[in-house]
Chain A
Amino acid sequence: MRARNLTEKVMSGLFLVCGMISILAVLGISLYLIISGLPAIREIGLKSFLLGQVWQSTATDPKFGILPFILSSIAATFGAIIIGIPIGLLMSVFLSKIAGAKLSSVVRPAVDLLAGIPSVVYGLVGMIVLVPAVMSVFHLRSGSTLFAAIIVLAVMILPSIVSVSETALNAVPKKFEEASLALGATKIETIFKVSIPAARSGIAAGVVLGIGRAIGEAMAVIMVSGNVANMPKLFESVRFMTTAIVSEMSYASGLQRQALFSIGLVLFVFIMIINVILNKLLKGGNKNEA
């Protein structure tokens, strides 16, 4: 009897330790980013760092303005979301409500496979196939543009949106849909007016996952976006916050290195803000329902 109690206590202690490890990891990363990112911001000045439009980190008179990176990351994420959400949502509706067993058994593994493809492979295919295609279709002088990066990101976030939304849609109680159909709504009306609103929080979770992946992607987009520190234009070469860090980290020293950490801090803050906003939206939605 006492042995069983002891086992119980040991196991719950073990679970507590494992849970603590994840909290410690998040805290550790956040603290390290804040500590390493603040010195450069203090030296460069918060306003000229965040709002400066010129990034010349290796010039004799270096300038560290990261506004181009911030705007490019926002633009790419926004573009990827605009393409990714409708396609992803409709795909999950298809998988969850409309497709028969045979068809969904083909489509679902395809979507899962898409989720498993490494970012580098996306970048490679983008560089070899997408960039020349963009160049010839839009008659640009070079295909390595923000547009190519948006397409690549949209395809990368599709699996996250689809799988989470599909799970959410499957979890909608059948009686909601049956009640709607019984009241005379068509299947499509039911999907759009009953199922999707009911699965709202799950879909929003999928979208947050997608946004997180899009804003944090570095490897795939560095191969298709041209990597020049410009203000973002749809058909011009751009550099994101992530690719800015990747391009220069290996050899940076001194203030340049600290500035790169500060970019990491800004990226981190962005993701926190996005998470908070979406959590508020979810809570607000649930409150209305209750």
Chain B
Amino acid sequence: MKRVLSIALAAVLCIAAFAGCSSGSPATSAAPSASVSTATATLSGTVSTNGSTSMESVISALSEAFMEKYPKVTVTYDSTGSSAGITAASQGQADIGLSSRDLKTTETGLDTATIAIDGIAIIVNKSSKVTDLTLDQIAKLATGEITNWKEVGGADSPVVFVGREAGSGTRDGFESIVNVANKCKYTQELTSTGAVIQAVASNQNAFGYASLSAVGDTVTMLKVGGVACTKDNILNGTYKIQRDFNLITKQGTTLSPAAKAFIDYAKSKEAAPIIEKAGAFVK
């Protein structure tokens, strides 16, 4: 009796081990000649997105709305960083790569679809007295030329510069616009926008950069040259530190119907209020 029971249990365990293996192939068997009117009913499958941590709130909002519209579709999001997302798309590991920067000249064979504009907010700790910095001052703080906050109107305390890892779209945007590429002296290099906000919020000497869509009220956003980081200033271009949110796909591969529908949805007028609610802006 005991032997039979233990063999049965072992068999159940083995079967349970296989439960974790799912097919997960995005190219489902939806017939290509399905007419548009039945598209809503037959659209199914998985859309895998991978990349920018700054785009998290926008992609979550879009996925939720999209999955409500097409209940049989699942949209997944891996938060790995813009460069990782671009690599994943070009190697076919994800349907859509998410990038909060434009493609470099070395990144070939990829298509870009811009779905939103995002501001990169310069954030300081809530206890900081500094409210406004020029681009030049920000550059000097980033490269380590200014080492004490009192030089820019703050308290007499050392400057701590918190930034992102080398493959980050946010870092790329910040460094290219402020013109400090390869010259920054970081005190911390963290791997997500949320981590930067958390680090700045918990250190009174810290300043850093993060996606506007992720900044809440745990930190203070600085004005750049007198211009606040708001929707109007980003859309009319007076707030200089901004970048596009892009969906990256590999050229030459046929996307699954679900993935194609997701990209079209994200670019459509329907999605604009959803994107704006999530914190980014649509032109």
Interface residues of B in 147-180 (CB under 8 A from A): 157-160, 165-167
Find out whether the CB atom of B166 lies under 8 angstroms from the CB atom of A57. Answer: yes
Contacts A142-B160, A143-B203 known; A250 to B167 CB distance under 8 Å?
yes
Q: Encode contact with B along A204-216: 1 for CB under 8 Å, 0 otherwise.
A: 0000000000000
Find out whether the CB atom of B87 lies under 8 angstroms from the CB atom of A141. Answer: no
CB distance from A149 to the nearest CB of B (A): 13
Contacts A228-B188, A251-B86 known; A142 to B205 CB distance under 8 Å?
yes
- B190: which A residues are within 8 A, CB to CB? 227
Of B5-13, B76-84, B245-253, B270-278, which binds chain A? B76-84
Find out whether the CB atom of B166 lies under 8 angstroms from the CB atom of A226. Answer: no
- A251: which B residues are within 8 A, CB to CB? 80-84, 86-87, 167
A131 at the interface (CB under 8 A from B): yes
Find out whether the CB atom of A227 lies under 8 angstroms from the CB atom of B159. Answer: no
CB distance from B205 to the nearest CB of A (A): 5
B102 at the interface (CB under 8 A from A): no
B168 to chain A: closest residue by CB: A251
Contacts A131-B202, A250-B81 known; A237 to B187 CB distance under 8 Å?
yes
Q: Encode contact with A along B74-111: 1 for CB under 8 Å, 0 otherwise.
A: 00000011111011000000000000000000000000
Interface residues of A in 237-254 (CB under 8 A from B): 237, 239, 247-248, 250-253
Q: How many residues of B contact A (CB 8 A)?
A: 27
CB distance from B187 to the nearest CB of A (A): 5
Q: CA separation between A127 and B190, bound complex, in Å?
A: 12
B163 to chain A: closest residue by CB: A228
A-B contact count (CB 8 A): 69
Interface residues of A in 122-158 (CB under 8 A from B): 127-128, 131-132, 135, 141-144
B167 to chain A: closest residue by CB: A251
A56 at the interface (CB under 8 A from B): yes
Find out whether the CB atom of A142 lies under 8 angstroms from the CB atom of B166. Answer: no
- A56: which B residues are within 8 A, CB to CB? 182
Find out whether the CB atom of B188 lies under 8 angstroms from the CB atom of A144. Answer: yes
A58 at the interface (CB under 8 A from B): yes
A59 at the interface (CB under 8 A from B): yes
- Which of A60, A132, A141 is in CB contact (< 8 Å) with B202? A132
- Which of A128, A226, A252 is in CB contact (< 8 Å) with B189? A226
Q: CA separation between A226 and B203, bound complex, in Å?
A: 13
Q: CA separation between A237 and B83, bound complex, in Å?
A: 24
Q: CA separation between A234 and B83, bound complex, in Å?
A: 32
- B87: which A residues are within 8 A, CB to CB? 250-251, 253
Q: Encode contact with B along A87-128: 1 for CB under 8 Å, 0 otherwise.
A: 000000000000000000000000000000000000000011
- B206: which A residues are within 8 A, CB to CB? 142
Contacts A60-B182, A141-B159, A142-B206 known; A250 to B189 CB distance under 8 Å?
no
List 5 extra interface pairs beyond A141-B205, A251-B167, A252-B167, CB under 8 A: A127-B198, A227-B165, A237-B187, A250-B87, A251-B80
Instruction: List 9 A–B pairs whose Cβ atoms lie within 8 Å, in order of A's numbering.
Output: A57-B166, A127-B198, A131-B202, A141-B159, A141-B203, A142-B188, A144-B187, A251-B82, A251-B84
Chain A residues proximal to chain B, CB less than 8 Å: 56-60, 127-128, 131-132, 135, 141-144, 222, 226-228, 237, 239, 247-248, 250-253
